[in-house]
Amino acid sequence: MKTNESRWQQRTQILPEDRSAEFKQYPYITMDELKLRKERPRRVKMLMRDFIDDSLYNPHYGYFSKEAVIFSPGEPFEFNSMRDEIEFQSELGRRYIEFEDLLDDAEGVNPTRQLWHTPTELFRPYYGEAIARYLVSNYRLTTYPYHDLIIYEMGAGRGTLMLNILDYIRSVDPQVYARTKYNIIEISPALADLQTRHLTSTAESRGHFNKVNIINKSVFAWDQYEPSPCFFLAMEVFDNFSHDGIRYDMTTEAPLQGHVLIDADGDFYEFYTHELDPVAARFFRVRHAATGGQYPKPYAANSFVRYLSTKMPFAPNLSDAEYIPTRLMQFFDVLEKYFPAHRLLTSDFHSLPEAVKGLNAPVVQTRYKRRMVPVSTPLVHQGYFDILFPTDFGITEAMYRAITGKLTRVMTHGDFMRRWAYVEDTETRSGENPLLSHYKNASVLVTV
């Protein structure tokens, strides 16, 4: 243990060996350079957001590119014939086992298979039909018949939401269907291929083929201008946007930006610097202007309380971590620049259980032998862990309004479904409704 403490790292009860001289020799690497790598990097430094982005989206070893498998329950659940939510959970568990058994037969047993589900799949087709009713109603109220119904969906998974929306519009409103164009922006080549296969798998789905355009690229690499009014769907995608890690000097309140260093052995080290990169610096400016300076902080507001906390034995020199959604800000920039006439519809989690320590901190978890295993840090082996963040919809709404100049409304997932879904379709005999109760920790933001 060395006594000469280094300022680049958060002070802890056990002082780390000072390796700053060695670490200074390692070069910085950016997200664009990481995308070209087929092997996980070593002897490099990078921003925390680039590390998370690489872990989730690297085309060669990223979580969504190579490991993630989306659960499909097969035939829609018959909620009206189920006794209660307990029976629904039991049936869901049975179908999970059946689905994975079939994968084991086809691919071999895989103890690290990363299997997860979405509300689109669990509540098919009722969830997609609710979204379709919102789209058709608002389209007819605003731009019909002067413009087509143009829909963009980002991160479409298996393509189930697309098919449910198009099926509903075709059967309920043929006039609108004749003017519908559906675009998917999908970063994962594997999922883009899966969406294409599902689109052409049956005669019914093949009827939508000329309506759909699947674009295999990142929304952050978008360069096509869309002048027409359109709807932009982002369902359960904000949670997987990478964030920057920030800690604050307990004396001055100055923010320090988090970096990740990977040494020659592949071990991860987290360190902080006073120099903010331009993206993080802009986030602080936009957030402050959009919220009037009113937002949560990971330290006590009272300066005397902060001073006392620094005098405690083994007190840290920096605050707890805060994870700021810099990628989300960049997404709003894309909407403002390339989709000036868009209307956004997004749903995501406003709180998450078992998150790592910190403000707006993520849940980091992997699946091993069909059990979910949460861990306590985002510095994990790239590609084998889902890293998902809660969305602070108060700050998100304020920043979206500031960047795009549009008006919005935020509501709970349940309130949105009560307005647009036929909730009687998902009600059990006991009166319980899984569609309303399963996503109580989710909110919906819409452009008005």
In the numeric block, which tokens belong to residue 282?
Answer: 């802009």
Mean predicted lDDT score pLDDT of the chain: 91
Can you give the pLDDT at residue 1? 35
Q: What is the pLDDT of residues 415-431, one digit of tens each?
A: 999 999 999 999 999 99
Taking Cα atoms as reference points, which of 273, 268, 297 lies closest to residue 376?
A: 268
DSSP annotation of 82: S
Confidence of residue 10 (pLDDT cuts 50, 70, 90): low
Contacts of 21 by beta carbon, 8 Å cutoff, 6+ apart = none
Cβ 347 vs Cβ 440: under 8 Å: no
Can you give the pLDDT at residue 252? 86
Torsion of CA 315, 320, 321, 322, to 10 degrees: -150
Cβ 445 vs Cβ 409: under 8 Å: yes
H-type alpha helices, 232-277: none
What domains, with CATH codes, occur in the chain? 79-241+329-352+389-447 (3.40.50.150)
Can you give the pLDDT at residue 190? 87
Can you give the pLDDT at residue 6? 42
Give helix 393-404 / helix 326-338 axis angle, nearest 10°.
30
Confidence of residue 434 (pLDDT cuts 50, 70, 90): very high
Token match 């700053």: residue? 20
Q: Kindly give the pairing relationship between strand 114-116 and strand 68-70.
A: parallel
Helix (H) or strand (E) holding 98: helix 85-107
Neighbours of 259 (CB within 10 A): 22
16-30, 253-267, 284-298, 390-404: the lowest-pLDDT one: 16-30
Can you give the pLDDT at residue 67? 83
Query: Of the spans 177-181, 251-255, 259-263, which averages the highest pLDDT?
Result: 177-181
Q: What is the pLDDT of residues 96-146, one digit of tens each?
A: 999 999 999 999 999 989 998 899 999 999 999 999 999 999 999 999 999
Cβ 364 vs Cβ 375: under 8 Å: yes
**Whether the predicted model's global pTM rises above the 0.75 cut:** yes
Neighbours of 321 (CB within 10 A): 23
Q: What is the pLDDT of residues 325-354, one digit of tens each?
A: 999 999 999 999 999 999 999 999 999 999
Q: Is the pLDDT of residue 314 over 70?
A: no
- The region, left, alpha or beta by phi > 0 then psi within -120 to 50, assigned to residue 50 is alpha
Cα–Cα distance measured from residue 423 to residue 433, given in angstroms and rounded to the nearest whole number: 8
Q: What is the pLDDT of residues 55-99, one digit of tens each?
A: 999 999 999 888 888 999 999 999 999 999 999 999 999 999 999
Contacts of 1 by beta carbon, 8 Å cutoff, 6+ apart = 14, 15, 17
Calculate mean pLDDT across residues 21-41.
89
Calculate mean pLDDT across residues 221-242.
96
Cα–Cα distance measured from residue 244 to residue 154, given in angstroms and rounded to the nearest whole number: 22
Query: Of the spans 121-125, 263-267, 313-317, which averages the highest pLDDT?
Result: 121-125
Q: Kindly give the pairing relationship between strand 408-412 and strand 68-70.
A: unpaired
Of residues 24 and 38, more confidently modeled: 38
Residue 249 burial (CB < 10 Å; 0-12/13-18/19+)?
Answer: middle
Can you give the pLDDT at residue 5? 39
